[in-house]
Structure 1
Amino acid sequence: MGQTTSITLEATDNSSWLDEFIDVYQRLNKDNLALLTRIYHFNVVFEDPLHRVTGRSALTEYFEHMYANVTSIEFDITDRFVSGNKAALYWTMTYQHSRLNGGCPIRVLGHSRLEMMDKKVIAHRDYFDLGQLLYEHIPLYGTTVRWLKKKASQ
């Protein structure tokens, strides 16, 4: 007879760091970027389709530039998964930018992969459609991008 191997996975709720992360993001705006020190490790690596930023100071500067023309931003967390020191968040971001989409709200679906060290995020990678975020909302250029996306899906 064959030998049976049994693996027991211990269920632990180690998600307080993720709760803190979500809480900060849902309150974050250009006037309270100091909150980033509560959730990001000093040596954080942050990546999205536009940038790769290393270090909490550089990340704070990135957010300062990003929020400069944003009149409002909201994150609706639609799902979350936690496994030890790693997590995935699925979200809908709604933002308004003075020079995009006539200043009207823009919705972007995306998700984030997070890794924690010392109860702070050490690695953060965002995944989203850059066209949905930006390109589709630039006058003239946006029309071309939307047309290309439509043609590609036929």
Structure 2
Amino acid sequence: MDAALTRFLETYQRLDKHNLASLGDIYAKGVLFEDPAHRLQGLAALQGYFASLYENVSAVQFAYAAPWLHGEKAQVQWTMTLTHPRLAGGRPVAVEGVSLLRFAGSGKVEHHRDYFDLGAMLYEQLPLLGPVVKAVKRRLAS
């Protein structure tokens, strides 16, 4: 299973809009994928989701910290640095998150759950909404 986790991490490092078919190398056909904004069932739905995500992305890079594997379950802490022309004026945006993975006997991921701050990734980076979201966060923190 160590090889499956390594293959998963390496695939995400190379992933872009031109090689989304490689998701089939790491995900089971019936994969369940969840993040703060979506819940998708099946490899075709996941590939469609990633196609829309990567359509206008200029660059995306992952830095991994403290991945661990126990049996068929894995956890990966990551920082994603994303560059999109409509976010943060086209400057790179770094977002920290955690992925929980469950592998099938085939070595492919059958359940993937991401945890990250959707506001930090998206809402805070929009020209009109960003300052409002940041102000609300500061107010809640005080």
The TM-score normalised by the length of structure 2 is: 0.98
* 1:149 equivalent in alignment to 2:137: yes
Counterpart of 2:137 in 1: which secondary structure?
A: helix
Residue identity opposite 1:76 in structure 2:
A
* 1:27 equivalent in alignment to 2:14: yes
* 1:75 equivalent in alignment to 2:58: no
* 1:126 equivalent in alignment to 2:119: no
Residue identity opposite 2:108 in structure 1:
K
Counterpart of 1:149 in 2: which secondary structure?
A: helix
Once the two structures are superposed, the pairs formed by residues 57-96 of structure 1 within 5 Å of their partners are 57-96=44-83
CA distance in 2, matches of 1:109, 1:93: 6
Residue identity opposite 2:67 in structure 1:
R
Q: Cα distance, 1:30 vs. partner?
A: 0.6
Residue identity opposite 2:133 in structure 1:
V
Identity %: 45
Q: Give CA-to-partner distance per residue, 1:7-44, whole Å, 9 cap, x none.
A: xxxxxxx3111000001001000111111010000000
Counterpart of 1:87 in 2: which secondary structure?
A: strand
CA distance in 2, matches of 1:139, 1:86: 39
Q: Cα distance, 1:123 vs. partner?
A: 0.1
Q: Give CA-to-partner distance per residue, 1:28-68, whole Å, 9 cap, x none.
A: 00111111010000000000001011000110000000101
* 1:109 equivalent in alignment to 2:96: yes
Return the match for 2:38 from 51, 59, 70: 51
CA distance in 2, matches of 1:21, 1:100: 27
Residue identity opposite 1:64 in structure 2:
A
The TM-score normalised by the length of structure 1 is: 0.90
| Unaligned runs of at least 5 residues, structure 2 | none
Corresponding residue pairs, total: 141
* 1:138 equivalent in alignment to 2:123: no
CA distance in 2, matches of 1:96, 1:35: 22
Counterpart of 2:58 in 1: which secondary structure?
A: strand
Q: Cα distance, 1:139 vs. partner?
A: 1.0
Q: Match of 1:42? A: 29
Which protein has the bigger helix share? Answer: 2
